[in-house]
Amino acid sequence: MTSELLDQALVEEATKKSGLIWVKGAGAPAARALWHVWHEGAVYLVGDGPGEQPLTGLADGGSAEVSVRSKDKGGRLVTWRATVSELNSGSPEWEAAVAELKGKRLNAPDGEEMPARWARECRVLRLVPAGSSLPLPAGSLAERPVPSPATTRRPVPAALPRLLARRRKRK
């Protein structure tokens, strides 16, 4: 009983304090970093709409594996299984979740109109911890980033090393 309570406390505290969680849905090829809110014993996510994070592999009634990293060091603290449920827009639970999510959404293009857009175009998911935390892996789980149009790789400009060296000399 005590280890279950400690597991619950670790999952809750680590997830509350972390800005990102890594979520791997049942049908997803790899875990994906997602911003979230911890509210009333569960993680809430919004996405799958224009300009929002993709929620690949997360389906209503499905399961997911959530890894939480340390906010200061970036290392993995805990990994836990979750049951996924999709909230119906306009329900009291959806309204409470969106109120929390709205405060955490950075750089939203539509400000106060954001909840209405989420109701029309996005999904709000609830991930509830199921069971005890999973053991930490023995080795690295590093993977190549998921292809995205947001990532670009270009050579470093030829003048950049000289510009950086010049700044160091001035100080």
Of 14, 10, 129, nearest in space to 64 by CA: 129
What percent of the chain has pLDDT above 70? 95
Closest of 76, 57, 96 to residue 18, by C-alpha: 76
Work out the percent of the chain whose per-residue pLDDT is above 90. 40
Query: How high is the pLDDT of residue 10?
Result: 85
Checking if the pLDDT of 104 tops 70, the result is: yes
| Sequence-ordered list of residues with C-beta below 8 angstroms from that of 96, at least 6 positions apart, any chain | 39, 40
The full set of domains in the chain, from first to last, is: 2-170 (2.30.110.10)
Return the half-sphere exposure (C-beta side, CA atoms, 13 A cut-off) of residue 142.
Answer: 3
Per-residue pLDDT tens over the stretch 44-86: 999 988 889 999 889 998 999 999 988 788 788 899 999 999 9
Confidence (pLDDT) at 155? 77
d(CA 160, CA 158): 6
Provide the sign of the torsion angle of the four alpha carbons 41, 88, 23, 18, taken in this order.
negative
Q: Give the single-character DSSP code of 48.
A: S
Residue range 135-164, pLDDT digits in tens: 877 877 777 777 777 766 677 788 888 888
Q: For all residues of the chain together, what is the average pLDDT?
A: 86
Q: How far is CA 42 from CA 70, 81, 92, 94, in A?
A: 18, 12, 16, 13
